[in-house]
Amino acid sequence: MVSKLKLLGIGTAASVIALGAAQAQDPVSLTIVSWGGAYTASQNRAYHEPYMAENPHVTIINDDGSANALAGLRAQSQANNVTWDLVDMLPSDAQLACDEGIIMEIDHDEMLAAGPDGTPASEDFLPGSLGECFIPQIVYSTVLTYRPGAFDADNQPDSIEALFDVENFPGQRALQDRPGTNLEWALYADGVDPDDIYDVLATPEGVDRAFAKLDTIKDHIIFWTEGAQAPQLLADGEVVFATGYNGRMFDAIEVEGMDAAIIWDGQVVEWDGWVIPAGGRNIDAVMEYVYWATDTQRLADQAKYISYGPARASSAELVGEHADLGIDMGPHMPTNPDNYFAPIVLDNDFWADYGDELRERFANWMLQ
Amino acid sequence: MAQADAADIAPEMQTERNGRLTTADGTPLKAALRRAERRRKFAAFLLVTPLLAFILAFFVFPIAQMMWRSVDNPQVVRALPQTLEALEDWDGETLPSEEVFAALHADFMADVGRPRAEQVMGPLAVRLNYELSAARSAITRTSRQVADFQPPYRDEFLDAHRLWDNIELWRVIEREGRPLTSAYYVAALDREFDSDGNIVLRDENRRIYVQLFIRTILMSAAITFLTFALGFPIAYYLSILPTRYANLLMIAVLLPFWTSLLVRTSAWIVLLQQQGVINSALVAMGIIGDDGRFSMIYNMTGTIVAMTHILLPFMVLPLYSVMRTIPPSYLRAAKSLGARPSTAFRRVYFPQTLPGIGAGGVLVFIISIGYYITPALVGGQSGRMISNEIARHMQQSLNWGLAAALGTMLLVGVLVLYWLFNRLVGTDSLKFG
C-alpha cells in the first residue's frame, strides 16, 4: 500500500514536471536570412513580430545575407556548421541547393497549412511555384521605371520599347549588371512575343539579336549591382529610366515620395520564398514557424507592408490596404490583371542551363 | 638565459682526461651550451607561436586551399566511375555504344540510392554546365526519370534530354573525368578546348579576363603615378614644417584613412555625378551648358579619382618618413657649391627619396590591383577591375574554381611584380615608414 502510494506520488510528480517543461518551452533563437531593406521590414511586421508575440520562447534574429545565400549555404554545409535556420532565396538558387542536398526537401501537404476552405497546400499555392525544397512566399517582378519629369507631358513612355528608344526618350538608363531581364527585354522590344522569348534566346542567333538590340543603347547605360542603387540613381536625377524590383520601386515612390512611375509592360515575374538548410540546429522550431508564416492570412498580411503578391491563391482576396499609407494595395500587385497584361515569366531552367555562358557573354559586352 | 646558464656552468668546469671541457655533471661544455641555446630559441619560438599559428590558420591555409580549388576536379570522377571506365575504348568521334549508356544508367541508379546529402549528381550537373551550356538540365532531368528506364538504355537517355545525343557532352565528360583539371585556368585565360582537345582562343564575344587583367594593371599603374604626383609635394611640405604643424597636417592626411571606405566612396558619388556638386557648380557659373555635363563617375575616371584619394596616405606616409631623415643641410651644401635649386633638387634631394617612392609605389600598386569595392560602386562598365570578376564568381555565378584560378593568377602576378621590383630596385632600400 505504502509503496503503491509512493509510486503514485512519483508518477504524479514526474508528469507535473513533464507538463511544466512542455509549457515553459526552452528558449529558441532562430536565425532567419533575408534580403534586408524594405523587404525584411515587411517580413518583420507581417511574420516575425506577431510570431514572437504568440510564442515568447522564440527569438528571431534577422540576417541580411540572401544576396549570397547559396554561397553561404554551401560554406556552412562544407564546414559542417549550419548556423542559418531559415533562408529566403530565389527558386533558381533553391533548385541548385536542393540538387546539392544542402537544404531540406519539403513535403508540401504535410509541412504546410491547408487553405481556409481545406484546399491542400499543394493546390493552394500558385501553379508551378512550389519546389522540391522551396516554399514560395511572394510573386515579385522586375519592372522598368522612369522619371515623368524628364519628358514632355504628351510624350511619356509606356512600354519596354521606350527603354531602347534614345531618340524620343533621351537620357541615361540604369540596368542591372547581369544578363537576366536585360536580354529578355531586348528581345521583347525587338518584337519577340513574351511566350517565345526563351526559345529564341536558346539559339545563338537569338542571343546575337538580343545583344545587337542592347548595343543600340550601350552608350546610355549606367549599371547597378545592389537593389537599392536603382531607385537612388533615379532620385538623384542621374538616369531617366531604371530597372528595379517592383517592391523597392513602390517603396521609393509611395513611401519616400520619389517622382517616378512604373511601366508594367513586359514585367519579368518571379517567385521568392523560404528554404530550410539541412542540418540546422532548430529544425522542429523552424518547421512550426514555417507552417504558421506561410498560411493564407500571413501571406496576405505581408502585402500590407510591401507591394509583392502573395504566393497562395486563397490569399489574394485578403489583400487590403497598406498598413501605414492606407492606400489600396491591389493596383500595386504585379499579379493585378491591369498590370499582368504582358508578363514575361522568368524561366529558371533556362537560366540554370545557359546562365554560365550568357553571363560571360554579358561581361564581355560590358567590357567592350 | 644562455649567458646566465653559461655563467653558472663556468666555475664548475672541469677538464676531463681527454682534454675536453665538461660541466660538473660530466656533459661536454659544447653540448651543454648548445642545449642552453636550443632552449633559448625554443622560448623565443614559443613567443611567436600564436602569431605563426594565426598566419598559418588564417592566411597560408586558406590561400593554399583556394589554390587547390582551382585545379580540384572531383565531380565527374565521383559521379560517373563506371561510365568513365566504359568510355576508355571510346573513339571520341561517334556516339558511345549501348555499353557506355548501360554504365551511365548504373551510375545514375547508384546515386538514386544514396541519401540526399551524399548525392553527387547535383555537383556534377553544376560542374558540367561550366563547360557546356544545358548540361545541367541534362543531368538533373535524367536523374528524375532514370528510375523508370528500361533497356536499351541508349534510346531512353536520348529521349530524356537532347544533349545525350551531342558528342560535345561526351567529350567534356571524358576530358573532365580526372581528379585534377586545367579547365579553370584555360577559361581564366579566355581559352577553351576545341573538338580535338587543343586549347584555342575563345570566341571574341566571350573573352573577358586577359583584357581585364591588362586594364587592371594599367589602371593600378595610373593610380600609383597619380598618388605619387599628388603625394610627393604634400610629403615634402610636411617634412620641412616644424613637428608641431607637421603633426597637425598629418592628421589631415590620415583623416580619410580613418573614415569608412563606403562613406568616402559615396562622397565622391555626390561630388562627381552628373547632377552632382561639381557639374552643377560649373553649370551655374556658365562654364558648361546644362546638356554638356561631364561624366566623371560610373566610368574609369570615377574609379581612378576615388581610388587615388583612398590610397593617397599609403604613398604619403613612406615618403614622409624618408624625407624627414634627409638633412636640410645637404640641399644647402649643394646650393652653396653652385647648384641651381632645380639641379640641387634633381641631383641631391630626389635620389635620396627613392626608397620612399619605391615603398609607396609598391604598396599602392599592390593594394589597388586587388581593389574591388570602389570599382564596383563607381566604376560603371569601363572602370571595373579583375577583382570585380573574382567577386562575381565567388558570390553570384558561384564558380569557385574559376574564381580561384583568377585569384591565383592575380597572386602569382603580384609576386612576380614584387620579384621584378626586388631585382631592379632591391627591397632592402624600401622604407615603409
Would you give per-residue pLDDT tens digits along chain B (433 residues)? 444 444 454 444 555 556 677 777 878 888 888 999 999 999 999 999 999 999 999 999 999 999 999 999 999 999 999 999 999 989 888 999 999 999 999 999 999 888 877 888 988 998 999 999 999 889 988 988 898 999 899 999 999 999 999 999 999 999 999 999 999 999 999 999 988 888 999 888 889 999 999 999 999 999 999 999 999 999 999 998 888 898 888 888 888 778 888 888 889 989 998 888 999 999 999 888 888 888 888 889 999 999 999 999 999 999 999 999 999 899 899 999 999 999 999 999 999 998 889 889 989 999 999 998 889 888 888 888 999 999 989 888 889 999 999 999 999 999 998 888 888 776 666 666 5
Amino acid identity of residue B15, one-letter, is T
Looking at B10, B41, B69, the residue that finishes a domain is B69
CB contact (8 A) between residue A101 and residue B122 = yes
Looking at residue B282, the DSSP 8-state letter turns out to be H
Which CATH number is B319's domain given?
1.10.3720.10
Q: Model confidence over A277-317: pLDDT tens digits?
A: 998 999 999 999 999 999 999 999 999 998 999 999 888 88
**Same domain (yes/no): B366, B410:** yes
**Same domain (yes/no): B242, B371:** yes
CB contact (8 A) between residue A366 and residue B121 = no
Q: B200 lies in a domain? A: no
User: For the purposes of burial, counting CB atoms within 10 Å of the CB of A238, is it exposed (0-12), middle (13-18) or buried (19 or more)?
Assistant: buried
Residue A22, CA distances (Å) to A19, B31, B278 in order: 5, 71, 66
Looking at B69, B85, B116, the residue that finishes a domain is B69
Q: B50 lies in a domain? A: yes
**Same domain (yes/no): B48, B130:** no
Q: Does B267 contact A at CB distance below 8 Å?
A: no
Looking at the partner chain, which of A74, A223, A279 has a beta carbon nearest the beta carbon of B381? A223
**Same domain (yes/no): B215, B243:** yes
**Same domain (yes/no): B50, B101:** no
β-bridge pairing A261-275 and B14-15: unpaired
Looking at B42, B69, B96, the residue that finishes a domain is B69
Residues contacting residue B374 through CB under 8 Å, at least 6 positions apart = B261, B265, B303, B306, B307, B310
Q: Which residues of A touch B119 (CB under 8 A)?
A: 99-101
Q: Which residues of A touch B205 (CB under 8 A)?
A: 211, 361, 364-365
Q: B187 lies in a domain? A: no
Lookup: cell for A118 = 481545406
Coil, helix or strand for B198? coil
Count up the domains in chain B and report the number. Answer: 3
Dist CA A218 CA A364 (whole Å): 13
Q: Does B291 contact A at CB distance below 8 Å?
A: no
Looking at the partner chain, which of A237, A352, A366 has a beta carbon nearest the beta carbon of B137? A352
Q: Model confidence over A71-114: pLDDT tens digits?
A: 899 889 888 899 999 999 999 889 888 887 889 999 999 999 99
Q: B201 lies in a domain? A: no
Dist CA B338 CA B348 (whole Å): 13
Query: Would you say A303 and A292 are in contact if contact means Cβ atoms under 8 Å apart?
Result: no
Q: Which domains does chain A have, with CATH numbers?
A: 26-139+272-331 (3.40.190.10), 140-270+340-367 (3.40.190.10)
The neighbouring-strand residues paired with A344 are A268
User: For the purposes of burial, counting CB atoms within 10 Å of the CB of B287, is it exposed (0-12), middle (13-18) or buried (19 or more)?
Assistant: exposed
Q: Which residues of A touch B207 (CB under 8 A)?
A: 364
**Same domain (yes/no): B142, B91:** yes
Residues contacting residue A21 through CB under 8 Å, at least 6 positions apart = none
Residue B147, CA distances (Å) to B79, B160, B210, B289 in order: 16, 12, 45, 71
Which residue from B404, B402, B417, B410 is spatially nearest to B190, judged by alpha carbons? B402
**Same domain (yes/no): B215, B169:** no
Q: Which residue of B has its CA nearest to A362?
A: B206
A-B Cβ pairs (cutoff 8 Å, strict): 93
Q: B199 lies in a domain? A: no
Shortest alpha-carbon distance between residue B400 and chain A (Å) = 9
Looking at the partner chain, which of A96, A278, A357 has a beta carbon nearest the beta carbon of B133? A357
Alpha-carbon A33 to chain mean position:
12
Angle subtended at Cα B401 by Cα B395 and Cα B404, rounded to the nearest 5 degrees: 80
Shortest alpha-carbon distance between residue B373 and chain A (Å) = 11
**Same domain (yes/no): B253, B376:** yes
Coil, helix or strand for A358? helix
Neighbours of B278 (CB within 10 A): 16
Query: Would you say A115 and A312 are in contact if contact means Cβ atoms under 8 Å apart?
Result: yes
Q: B81 lies in a domain? A: yes
Backbone φ and ψ for A154, nearest 5 degrees, come out as -90, 5
Structural domain for B326, as ranges:
209-429
**Same domain (yes/no): B157, B240:** no
**Same domain (yes/no): B131, B47:** no
Which residue from B268, B273, B379 is spatially nearest to A239, judged by alpha carbons? B273
Q: Is the dihedral of CA B169, B174, B176, B177 positive or negative?
A: positive
Which residue from B383, B125, B433 is spatially nearest to A97, judged by alpha carbons? B125
Q: Which helix (H) or strand (E) holds A272?
A: strand A261-275
**Same domain (yes/no): B30, B174:** no
Q: B163 lies in a domain? A: yes
Q: Which residues of A touch B121 (CB under 8 A)?
A: 99
ipTM passes above 0.85: no
Coil, helix or strand for B71? coil
User: For the purposes of burial, counting CB atoms within 10 Å of the CB of A163, is it exposed (0-12), middle (13-18) or buried (19 or more)?
Assistant: buried
Amino acid identity of residue B248, one-letter, is L
Q: Which residues of B touch A178 (CB under 8 A)?
A: 396
Q: B197 lies in a domain? A: no
pLDDT tens, N- to C-terminus, chain A (368 residues): 444 445 444 544 444 444 444 445 789 999 999 998 888 999 999 999 999 999 999 999 999 989 889 889 988 988 889 999 999 999 988 988 888 788 999 999 999 999 999 899 999 998 888 988 999 999 999 999 999 999 999 999 999 999 999 999 999 999 998 899 999 999 999 999 999 999 999 999 999 999 999 999 998 999 887 777 889 899 988 899 999 999 889 989 998 899 999 999 999 999 999 999 998 999 999 999 999 999 999 999 999 998 999 999 888 888 888 888 888 998 899 988 889 899 998 988 898 889 888 988 998 998 88
**Same domain (yes/no): B157, B115:** yes
